[in-house]
Amino acid sequence: MEPSGSGGSNRVLRPSSHMMEGVGARVVRGPDWKWGKQDGGEGHLGTVRNFESPEEVVVVWDNGTAANYRCSGSYDLRVQDSAPT
């Protein structure tokens, strides 16, 4: 997974040549989100379970829903920054 942009809140989820690096990442809705409240609502967190392909990632939301999202061309997810402030 490679961050895009600067700052924690602007990083979209992008696969890297080592896609396993992104597995376990905590994510929230990204700039191209169009899936309603599938994630439980704005601000809710999910965890990357696996990458189906370089363009598609599987996320399990904290509400128990699992679904596939885009991570190339259109970015449905942002990496949640957990760094201390």
Q: Does residue 2 form part of some domain?
A: no
Q: Give the predicted TM-score (pTM) of the model.
A: 0.76
Range of the domain at 37: 8-79
Domain total in the chain: 1
Condensed to tens digits (0 to 9), the pLDDT of residues 24-61 reads 999 999 999 999 999 999 999 999 999 999 899 999 99
Q: Does residue 49 form part of some domain?
A: yes
Determine the Cα–Cα distance for residues 84 and 74; give it in Å rounded to an integer: 29
**Residue 22: per-residue pLDDT:** 84
Beta strands in 30-82 (DSSP E): 46-53, 56-61, 66-72, 74-75, 77-79
**Residue 19: per-residue pLDDT:** 54
Q: Does residue 35 form part of some domain?
A: yes
Q: Does residue 84 form part of some domain?
A: no
Q: Does residue 21 form part of some domain?
A: yes
> For the domain that residue 52 is a member of, what is the CATH number?
2.30.30.40
